[in-house]
Chains A and B, each alone.
Chain A
Amino acid sequence: MNTAADRAESDLQEFDSPPAVTGGGEAGIGPWRLAARRMRRRRGALAFGLIFVVLVAVCLLAPVYADLVAGSGPYENHLTDQVTVDGQSVNVVGYDGIPIGPTWQGEFLLGADGNGRDVAVRLLYGGRNSLLIGIASAIITTILGLIVGLLAGYFRGWTDSVLSRLMDILWAFPVILLGIALGTSLALGGLALGPIDISGGSLAIPIFVIAIIYVPYLARPIRGEVLSLREKEFVEAARAQGMGSLRLIASEILPNVLSTALVFFPLLVANAILLEAALSFLGAGVQPPEPSWGTMIDEGVQRIITAPALAIVPGVMLVLTVLALNVFGEAVRESLDPKAKVRIEH
């Protein structure tokens, strides 16, 4: 089926011209080493990659910060408590319901939220959840996308028809609506699939939902590559030597599509984090009181008039994280596969 979507995709060009590296000319350098060499020259992108690693590390240290510095957990309310700022005792949440702003000291470094919880602590715990959802769902999307793309492209015929039509149908749903539909129905009922039993409030729900939504974005380009790879001489040679289909897919074809999966990965994580935030903002993602950057922005927007910091702080963290991933991911694409066409909606 030659749809407008297919055409748009095939017409989509890479964002930028490839870096000024005339690689490939040197003899004896494999594609991976070449990509690594190109990557090393992208100092700016590497710096953003480092920013992402630091953000992950800081969020992982959330319990340490909560115990040693803030002295308060992510769920602890301090509605009626007081905190000493500059030698004066101040209510964490004022009588007018306005929480304390940033104190720039250990306790309530970034202020408190409407329930008197420490924003800095929740920011780190929320970051842990947002990053977990982003990375876990991107890993699942990659695995499922590879399986679907490899099977559809290699076996063609009815396998391809069934899988490709299924991808087309998932693709037809606007990303955010599919997320809301799956998110709310699963949050209400939970999921029981054979031995898997997930309750409605579990983080596994948004992970699963986001992972499923993005599968077609990866499966389609992988399938296209496999369709042309399977006609290559080295595949024919392997088949002639009597290699079975599954082993052939795993040892001959898979290594050749891994670079595409790798190009998608950072961008998938970035978009999954954004989608998590959007779904949580609407109430169809992470369920309170569990923190995530999306739920924190949601709570913050409701109090934006009296305590704008509650909305600004998690949003800045979110933008910084996604920006780091996007910049780094773009450099990965240009280094590995400058002609790759990547577009993911969120």
Chain B
Amino acid sequence: MTRFIIKRLASMVLVLFAVSVITFLIFNVIPNGDPAVRMAGKQPTETQVQAIREEWGFDKPIYVQYATTMKLLFTGQMVSYFSQLNVVEEIWKGVPRTFALAIGAAILWMIFAIALGLWSAMRAGGISDNLLNVFALIGISMPVFWLGALMNQYLGFELSNVLGFELFPNGGYVEFSESPWQWFHHLILPWIALSVLFIGFYSRVLRANIIETMDEDYVRTARAKGLSDRRVLLHHVLRNSLIPVVTLWGLDFAVVIGGGAILTETVFNLQGVGQYAADAIGQLDQPPILAVTMFGAFFVVFFNTVIDIVYAALDPRIRLEAGDSA
């Protein structure tokens, strides 16, 4: 097990290095023109550009530029030339908000996906199954920022005007420490908006898995020995159908935190990490986008490694397989 963990961590370090190189290339090398001018944002002055050139080492060889960029990022010295604020500090401010959004949405989409997937699989081919299939397809086809904007406008704003009280608030975020209820209240609509796509996708994957599992021999055995349908379904079928979905869940959760939540945060004005990057786009402010891209990809790689190690701890076959092949 120790050997597996060391191997896995070593390969993680390699991927992290590669990810950082690619990010560096995307921002500083691939585009045309002077990188110092791009970093400076809208209407820079010549002295400003010169200062950036020296700070980022753009007049030095490319490997020095890479090292300087990494140093600025990981010693927390990177600043936005637009707002003069420290980029890493701004990102840390957004982290709890992004986590709150992602965790709630992940729980919500899993609960609904299991319920709807079970329902569909039990009634495969029936009217309710077909109807759910249609809804799932619409959910998958809907851009989250559009859905979120309409929910915010009609359920958050117009509905409050009609009712005379706020059934749902119109965007914004309240700290949990300030008021747990307000925190929850402000996150309901964002959670729903972010979940829709995943509910559509997961419920259909689960439906297919359940239908396939029901043909397995052990399910027939369980039935034959007289277990109730309910018990067979929940303990034998569902449990085994859930395994691949739970793996996906972990991966998607990491992607949502690592940047996938950017659109939902922006539409509901949650001021998370993603929105920090999104706001920077409008101002052509590059350092925040660079930092969020790097940290987002780092988080995804790191989280995937953790999932792999947890899996290996649970299932010895994976350890052996990896030991044989790598």
Which A residues are within 8 Å of any B CB, using their own CB?
1-5, 7-8, 11-17, 165, 168-170, 172-178, 180-182, 184-186, 188-192, 197, 270, 274, 277-278, 281-284, 297, 301, 304-305, 308, 311-312, 315, 318-319, 322-323, 326-327, 330, 343, 345
Contacts and interface: CB of A to CB of B under 8 A. Distances in A.
17 contacts: A1-B322, A2-B321, A8-B244, A8-B248, A12-B244, A16-B208, A172-B15, A174-B259, A174-B260, A180-B262, A181-B289, A181-B293, A278-B144, A281-B145, A283-B278, A284-B281, A315-B146
A17 B244 contact: no
B262 A176 contact: yes
A197 B33 CA distance: 12
Interface of B: 11, 15, 18-19, 22-23, 26-27, 30-33, 38, 124, 133, 137-138, 140-146, 149-150, 153, 157, 201, 204-205, 207-209, 211-212, 243-244, 247-248, 250-251, 255, 258-260, 262-263, 266-267, 277-278, 281-282, 284, 286, 289-290, 292-293, 296-297, 300-301, 304, 307-308, 311, 318, 321-322, 325-326
A277 B267 CA distance: 14
A174 B133 CA distance: 27
A180 B247 contact: no
Nearest to B299: A174
A297 B250 contact: no
B301 A311 contact: no
Given A172-B300, A191-B32, A178 B263 contact: no
Main secondary structure of the interface of A (DSSP, over half): helix
Contact of A323 (B137, B205, B267): B137
Contacts of A327: 137
Given A2-B325, A282-B278, A190 B19 contact: no
Nearest to B142: A319
A7 B310 CA distance: 14
B153 A304 contact: yes
A92 B109 CA distance: 44
Contacts of B142: 319, 322
B297 A172 contact: yes
Given A169-B22, A315-B143, A174 B300 contact: yes
A185 B38 contact: yes
Nearest to A343: B201
B208 A174 contact: no
B248 A176 contact: no
A170 B321 CA distance: 25
A297 B38 contact: no
Contact of B281 (A184, A277, A304): A184
A13 B30 CA distance: 38
Contacts of A270: 141
In the complex, the 8 A-B pairs of residues with the closest C-beta atoms, listed nearest first? A189-B31, A11-B244, A177-B259, A174-B259, A189-B33, A322-B141, A323-B141, A315-B146
A173 B137 contact: no
B146 A318 contact: yes
Given A185-B38, A311-B150, A17 B27 contact: no
A177 B296 contact: yes
B281 A176 contact: no
A329 B301 CA distance: 31
A43 to B, nearest CB: 14
A173 B297 contact: yes
Contacts of B32: 189-192, 197
Nearest to B312: A2
B153 to A, nearest CB: 5
Contacts of A315: 143, 146, 150
